[in-house]
Amino acid sequence: MEKITCVCGHENPFGTKICGKCGRPLSEDAKAQKILDMRYDGSAIRSKTYNKSIIDKIWNFFSSVKVGVSLIVITLIASSLGTFFPQKFNIQAATEAEKALYYEQNYGTIGKLYYELGFSDIFNSWWYQILVGLLAISIIVASLDRGIPLYKSLKNQRVKRHESFMKKQRIVAQGPVTEGDPSKTLDLISEKMTQLRYKVRRDGNALLAEKNRFARSGPYINHLGLIIFIFGVMLRFVPGFHVDEAMWIREGEVRAIPGMEGYFLENEQFILETYDNDPTRAQIEQGVAAIPKNYQTNVKLYKQAEGALLGDTENMELVKEYSIRVNHPLKYDGYSIYQMDFRQNELKTMTFELTHKESGKSLGSLTIDLTDPDKEYVLGENTKVEILNYYPDFSGMKDGVPQTASQYPNNPAFVFKMTTPDKPKGEISFVSIGAPPVEAGENEYKMTFKNVETRNVSGLTIKKDVTIPILIIGGAIFLLGLAIGSYWNHRRLWVQQLEDGTIMLAAHTNKNWFSIKKDLDIVTDYAHLPKYRDQLEENGESDKEGDDVK
Amino acid sequence: MDKKKKRSIIRGIILLVLACAIIYTIYNSATKEKVEALADGDQAPDFELVDLEGNTHRLSDYKGQGVFLNFWGTWCEPCKKEMPAMERQYQQFKDQGVQVLAVNIAQSKFEVQNFVDQYDLTFPVVIDKTKSVMQAYNVGKLPATYLISPDGKVKKIPPGELSEQQIQSFMESIKPE
Amino acid sequence: MSLIDISGNLLFIAFFAYILGTVFIAGSIKRNDGAASRAEKWGKIGIVVAIIGFIAQLGYFITRWIYAGHAPVSNMFEFTTAFGMFLVGAFILIYFIYRVKILGLVALPIAILFISYATMFPTEVTPLVPSLQSHWLTIHVITAAIGQSILAISAVAGLIYLLKEVDPKTPSKERFWLEAILYCCVVIIGFIVVTITFRSMGYEAEFTYIDKTGKEADIVYNMPAIFGMNEYDLKTDGVMEPLIEMPALINAKKLTTVTWSFIAGTIIYLLYRLIARKRICELLHPLVKRVNINLVDEIGYRSVLIGFPVFSLGALVFAMIWAQIAWGRFWGWDPKEVWALITWLFYAAYLHLRLSKGWEGRKSAWLALIGFAIIIFNLVFVNLVIAGLHSYA
């Protein structure tokens, strides 16, 4: 690992291709090249020089651009696999078993294979996460490996370069001044280049005009942005950094907000508006009855009283009233509540009439609140209806006993006891929707269904994401670096005037030779310089692939 | 060769830190569900709910006694099977320092009262109207039972429906010393 | 005449201007008979006509915007038309930097194809559904479209590069794939021909079928049914019965459309081969003979370098910001989002391969074409075939 001492006396780190002081080619391949590789200004890419220990080997592996590009391509292909069939988290199925069945049922054997191989949950899989992790390591290692030497090299570069450096640049010129006084040439160059917004440095008979050095930092800045972004994403998995819950809440209900302890939401109203346009061709083709215009849930946000325990809803404080719409979530205390989904027309109340079967005479009506029924409803003197049993979601009989599937009033059924003046002992009737009443014997009275009231249910999602600012910063830095690296180019012009007044000149840019040539044309004309040559174009297409000299 | 060693160390540290960060993230991602849930040894969140008579019950009211905390619903078949067993064991243990607190998941007073009358339950039954306690205890499927020791900590969360024998031994296990 | 009619007429004008522009630019290609001055003049006219067309299409865009009250990028028709417009805009911009007219020979026909393809979809102004009611519709979609059209120029340059460099007379893998790409363009033409034909015949066939949830549903075919929906029942008389029935999972109507397009496209291609007795790439090869190949390569690379940041900004960053505001999650692995990510990763790989590994010339040209294929895949297949939260454009 010896340092390389150049003829000019400067000590270069091992592996340096071009002397950092004078520019003489040092390495064998640098000496052999017709046009020098200026990608890292001749500095040693550290990974390519040290290769001893296992740590070095791992480091070098990640520093390689070939490995990085391969990782990008593998990630790209892996991601595409996740789009052929819907991913697991998008399927409406409750249990794992149901999900497995879904793939086989809907997509046949390919679907089953898709599920078995884990492709139905690619983006959450450990190997996909490792892939992204490897990509991150690659970005960091490659940037450190190249960025630091490049920075040092550019910072320490000298104005005066050796002839062998100058002659091996892509753009060169040599010859006498075409007109005017040669002693003024360097001043003219300096003047023009300054006008073209270059920074000009002189050192005796040498001149260096440089512009946009910061552009070289572009890739390293954008890589930094990506790493910050990935870091932000990784942070979301740390418990507490990311809340993602969902709740269904009926109009009129007050519910505790999952994920947001101590807060309650009251759904005042759900509103669905549609456009009343004439059906468009798109609508007809897709079978859409009306195009939705607005989904909105008007809510009241409550906070528990100071020091109140879980479940205590006394003395709640109303902190916010808001209409949650798509694109307009409710924001409070770092949380955001989004309008996601809705269900319409859930049964809210049912109205029955106590009717005498034969005469059809009604003894009165009662309205039952399906989420809070009363035990009995008094209709008049010696006339009342009692609910002996209530089954909100009647699902059939089991051993003669009515069953309810859930607590939600999807299919209400009742066991009524009707007490009337001529039947003071009461008659019992089991009433359900869409079926005739089941009676113990032959009743004289029956409960006639009269009316329902419905209400809507809103589906909301609750999110809290502390990592969002980090992601924003990462994204912004990424874009900044990308812009810097893409839209600005680093240009340099080296000039030396020899004893006899002739000019030797070389120019380099990291990208966009087209534009630097325009600058060179201007200064060549102004300072009467010898015409420059593009050594790459002179070589023709033969240098197209392989050693890149951009 | 000091510089070489230094370089190796720096590189090694960087790689190690990166590897750890990635493994930590993957581990977190895989265990996301379990971390959010209540675990054995955690302090049981105190709460305040109202029973069918309008009396307020706090979990902390029962400090010093073991609490058999049960979340249930009237439509839930296993709950119906459990309740009579719970009632019987409650009669045995209530004077031995073990209480039963049954929390209903936001159903109507009508349904809860009917159920209590039907199964002749004597232990306190409260209704979690806003589902806030249910969320704090991360209740998923019903029935959900939480065994709380006299010092207020969650001793065990036995999953699913419990047999009478299991109820008996669990109540035994949370008796105060 | 209402604003929407004006808008439609302007689009019409733009469409024909692009066709005319293509003709003039094709005529301006210098041939050995030395009619140099005529070629110059034709070339200039071609560019001017293209610019007129672009301005007309801008007029269509603005008038439609005013009429609809929202940026006209909210459905398949609007987006694809806008994409064509930005493509022409990108071509004009690149032309003024590099003065390479021949790009127009490929860019303008692609824009024509885009607009034709777009008009196969419902063109009426539809009101915005709640999730699209946001300023971000304008910001995200337009920026993404501009980014994609600049990237598309690299594919235009790539195609020209390969048309010149790949020897049409020698069998090779490259020649095969080049011709395959040109064949795909013919299939798109086939789609347009077949749709217009059956539409002008007023063809309609109504079916009921059992969808994948087991429920009965209706569907109307606008082309003779080659493939039938699951357990279909033909309601209209005197129309073709499906030849094969498809399971519930597959949308037989779309499959039928695609099949008809391939049939028509293949027939057109075979007819062409019969008449011309040479491959399309052989036909086009002499047109690009005098092209400065290094410059075309440079243009291809520069358009990626210019377009990639714009694409990153529009298709990823703005998209993530809007998704967070609308749905509370900035990324949901929705197929459209994933394919935008794939596009982004691909062009990142392109830049790394070019800048660090020296992949220039032919390799770069093929990469550019693959990148464009990915963009088209996102536009066509992801929108129409794979469903998701994102199925507008």
Q: pLDDT for A71-125, tens place per residue?
A: 999 999 999 998 888 888 877 776 777 788 888 877 778 888 888 888 888 998 8
Give the angle subtended at the CA of A116 by the CAs of A113 and A121, to the nearest 5°.
110
Residue A474's nearest CA partner among A273, A131, A275, A227 is A227
Q: How confident is the model at residue C389 (pLDDT cuts 50, 70, 90)?
A: very low
Bridge partners (DSSP) of residue A366 are: A352
Query: CA of C205: how far to CAs of A183, C128, C215, C230, in Å?
Result: 88, 30, 20, 15
| Residue burial C295-322, b: 16+ Cβ < 10 Å; e: rest | ebbbbbbbbbbbbbbbbbbbbbbbbbbb
What is the pLDDT, as a whole number, of residue C32? 57
Tokens 């066939």 locate to C205
What is the number of residues in chain A? Answer: 550
Q: How confident is the model at residue B35 (pLDDT cuts 50, 70, 90)?
A: low
Q: Cβ contact (<8 Å) for A1 and B21?
A: no
What is the percent of chain C where pLDDT is above 90? 54
Q: Cβ contact (<8 Å) for B15 and A310?
A: no
A7 CB-near residues (< 8 Å, 6+ apart): A22, A24
Q: How confident is the model at residue A423 (pLDDT cuts 50, 70, 90)?
A: confident
A151: pLDDT strictly greater than 50 = yes
Check if the beta carbon of residue A71 is closer than 8 Å to that of residue C214. Answer: no
C393: pLDDT strictly greater than 70 = no
Give the angle subtended at the CA of C61 by the CAs of C58 and C65, to the nearest 5°.
140
Q: Cβ contact (<8 Å) for A550 and C313?
A: no
The two beta strands, B98-104 and B125-127, are parallel
- What is the rounded (10 degree) CA torsion for A432, A436, A440, A445? 90
For an interface test with A, the pick among B108, B115, B127 (most A C-beta atoms closer than 10 Å) comes out as B108
Please tell me if residue A514 touches chain C, with a CB cutoff of 8 Å. yes
For residues B85-114, average pLDDT: 91
Check if the beta carbon of residue C293 is closer than 8 Å to that of residue C362. Answer: no
C109: cis peptide before it, omega within 30°?
no
Please tell me if residue A547 touches chain C, with a CB cutoff of 8 Å. yes
What is the pLDDT, as a whole number, of residue C140? 96
For an interface test with A, the pick among B111, B119, B138 (most A C-beta atoms closer than 10 Å) comes out as B111
For residues C123-139, average pLDDT: 89
Tokens 């039972």 locate to B145
C229-276 pLDDT, tens digit per residue, is 888 888 888 788 888 888 776 778 888 888 899 999 999 999 999 999
CA distance B171 to B123: 14
A547: pLDDT strictly greater than 50 = no
For residues B134-161, average pLDDT: 88
Mean pLDDT, chain B, whole residue set: 88
Tokens 């057109």 locate to C268
What is the pLDDT, as a whole number, of residue C272? 93
What is the pLDDT, as a whole number, of residue A118? 83
Q: For residue B46, which residues of chain A lie inside 8 Å, CB to CB?
A: 309-310
Q: Could you give the maximum distance between any two Cα atoms of chain B, in Å?
A: 86
Q: Cβ contact (<8 Å) for B15 and A58?
A: yes
For an interface test with C, the pick among A35, A37, A65, A76 (most C C-beta atoms closer than 10 Å) comes out as A76
Q: Work out the burial of residue A48: count CB atoms within 10 Å of its CB; fewer than 13 is exposed, 13-18 middle, 19 or more buried.
A: middle
Q: Cβ contact (<8 Å) for A244 and C348?
A: no
CA distance C335 to C17: 36
The two beta strands, A362-369 and A376-380, are unpaired
Q: Which chains touch A (3 or more CB pairs under 8 A)?
A: B, C
Nearest CA in chain A to C374: A80
For an interface test with C, the pick among A146, A518, A548 (most C C-beta atoms closer than 10 Å) comes out as A548
Check if the beta carbon of residue B15 is closer than 8 Å to that of residue A55. Answer: yes
A257-287 pLDDT, tens digit per residue, is 998 888 999 999 999 999 888 887 777 766 6
Please tell me if residue A289 touches chain C, with a CB cutoff of 8 Å. no
Check if the beta carbon of residue A149 is closer than 8 Å to that of residue A43. Answer: yes
Q: What are phi and psi of C146, to 5 degrees?
A: -65, -45
Q: Cβ contact (<8 Å) for A237 and B28?
A: yes
Q: Cβ contact (<8 Å) for A340 and C75?
A: no
Q: What are phi and psi of A307, to 5 degrees?
A: 75, 5
What is the pLDDT, as a whole number, of residue A501? 85
Query: CA of C181: how far to CAs of B32, B92, C162, C170, C278, in Å?
Result: 47, 83, 11, 17, 16
Q: For residue A403, which residues of chain B lie inside 8 Å, CB to CB?
A: 75
Nearest CA in chain B to A259: B135
Q: How confident is the model at residue C147 (pLDDT cuts 50, 70, 90)?
A: very high
Q: Which residues numbered 20-79 in B keep a CB inside 8 Å of some CB on A?
A: 21-22, 25-26, 28-30, 32, 35-36, 45-49, 58, 73-75
Q: Cβ contact (<8 Å) for A512 and C333?
A: no
| Residue burial A49-60, b: 16+ Cβ < 10 Å; e: rest | ebeeeebbebbb
What is the pLDDT, as a whole number, of residue A550? 30
HSE-CB at A511 with a 13 A cutoff on CA atoms is 23
What is the percent of chain B where pLDDT is above 90? 37
Q: For residue A256, which residues of chain B lie inside 8 Å, CB to CB?
A: 130-132, 135
Q: Cβ contact (<8 Å) for A58 and B129?
A: no
Q: What are phi and psi of A170, to 5 degrees?
A: -70, -40
Q: First and final CA of chain A: distance in angstroms?
A: 29
Q: Cβ contact (<8 Å) for B110 and A389?
A: no
Per-residue DSSP letter, C167: -
C193 CB-near residues (< 8 Å, 6+ apart): C264, C268
What is the pLDDT, as a whole number, of residue B36? 64
pTM of the model: 0.87
Query: From the CA of A550, how many Å to the nearest CA of chain C?
Result: 7
Q: For residue C309, which residues of chain A lie inside 8 Å, CB to CB?
A: 479, 482-483, 486-487
DSSP string, C218-262: EEEESS--SEEPTT-EE-SSSSPPPSEE--TTS-HHHHHHHHHHH
What is the pLDDT, as a whole number, of residue B33? 65
Q: Which chains touch C (3 or more CB pairs under 8 A)?
A: A
Q: How confident is the model at residue A545 (pLDDT cuts 50, 70, 90)?
A: very low
The two beta strands, A376-380 and A383-391, are antiparallel
| Residue burial A19-47, b: 16+ Cβ < 10 Å; e: rest | bbbbbbbbbeebeeeebbbbbbbbbbbbb
C39-77 pLDDT, tens digit per residue, is 788 889 999 999 999 999 999 999 999 999 999 999 889
For an interface test with C, the pick among A150, A327, A339 (most C C-beta atoms closer than 10 Å) comes out as A327
C79-105 pLDDT, tens digit per residue, is 999 999 999 999 999 999 888 989 999
A431-477 pLDDT, tens digit per residue, is 998 888 888 788 889 899 999 999 999 999 999 988 999 999 999 99
Going through A422-520 in order, the beta strands assigned E by DSSP cover: 423-432, 438-439, 445-465, 491-497, 503-509
What is the pLDDT, as a whole number, of residue A499? 87
Q: Work out the burial of residue A239: count CB atoms within 10 Å of its CB; fewer than 13 is exposed, 13-18 middle, 19 or more buried.
A: exposed
B77 CB-near residues (< 8 Å, 6+ apart): none
CA distance B94 to A360: 55
Query: From the CA of B32, how many Å to the nearest CA of chain A?
Result: 7
